[in-house]
Amino acid sequence: MRPLSGTLWEAVLDDGRTVMVKRGDRRDAVRAEAAGLRWLAAADTVRVPGVLGDDERWLVTERVATGAPGAEPAVRFGRDLAALHAAGAPGFGAPPPGGPEEACIGLAPLRNTVGEDWPRWFAEHRVLPYLRAAVDAGTVRPAEAADVERLCARLPGLAGPAEPPARLHGDLWNGNVLWGADGDVRIIDPAAHGGHRETDLAMLALFGCPYLRQVLQGYEQVAPLAEGWAGRVGVHQLFPLLVHAVLFGRPYAEQALAVARTAL
């Protein structure tokens, strides 16, 4: 096997196929990722690498030959992403079938607790747990945390029109978008759950997805976004920014605080 990182290898099977082999270092991480990939694949929309095998520690998936990003694949990706979201979920926070409640997003724990009201669920199960962890770590000062808490209290009025739970990738930053050599986009490393569709789009914007304008163009051809969605991007980015603050420190905390203050 050829190592690509501390937890990822490229391997060649006896039949000549090249596959990706990933080790899960957190409890239930492999189970969560495998279930997420299968759930996303079941929608038959955005392509994902096929799961070839998994157990408690190891995940084996197809290898994707990558190419250059392009405008036409971006438009198709946007259309497919809209269809994936429309495939739905049983509730906000619902894990994929067979997936654990205690999952992860990157190296951080992620609890998939189901709720019916998105603003309340997002505050209670996505924003506030990571805010508290950042305060405990000294990355966010208690006085600063009050701004985020005020935003959470005002979320019902800031969240826009109510929408049904969408089938989310859940960690859709640019590094988890593979531009295939065959012209199709694949998405990898999901933290899949039921959520608000604008969250995936806000994550794409946060870390700079190539051809994002074309992705959004394709998305709106299939499922137009609710009025005012652009003004809500920061609200949805608050969750991944706080996760990054917990994992990587103060610069992301400052970004999260700026987002909260702007939204207020």
If one counts every other C-beta atom within 10 angstroms of the C-beta of residue 185, the result is 21
Helix H or strand E encompassing 77: helix 71-86
Choose the catalytic residue: 54, 80, 147, 171: 171
Specify the 3-state DSSP secondary structure of 12: strand
What is the Cα Rg of the chain in Å?
A: 18
Answer yes or no: are the C-beta atoms of 93 and 113 closer than 8 Å.
yes
User: Phi then psi for 240, rounded to 5 degrees?
Assistant: -65, -30
Does residue 55 carry a catalytic annotation? no
Q: Which segments within the chain are labelled E, that is strand?
A: 2-3, 8-12, 18-23, 51-54, 58-62, 102-105, 108-111, 166-168, 177-179, 185-187, 193-195
Q: How many whole angstroms separate alpha carbon 205 and alpha carbon 213? A: 10
Which among 131, 156, 125 has a CA at the least distance from the CA of 143?
131
Main-chain dihedrals φ then ψ at residue 109, nearest 5 degrees: -70, 150
Query: Which residues carry out catalysis?
Result: 171
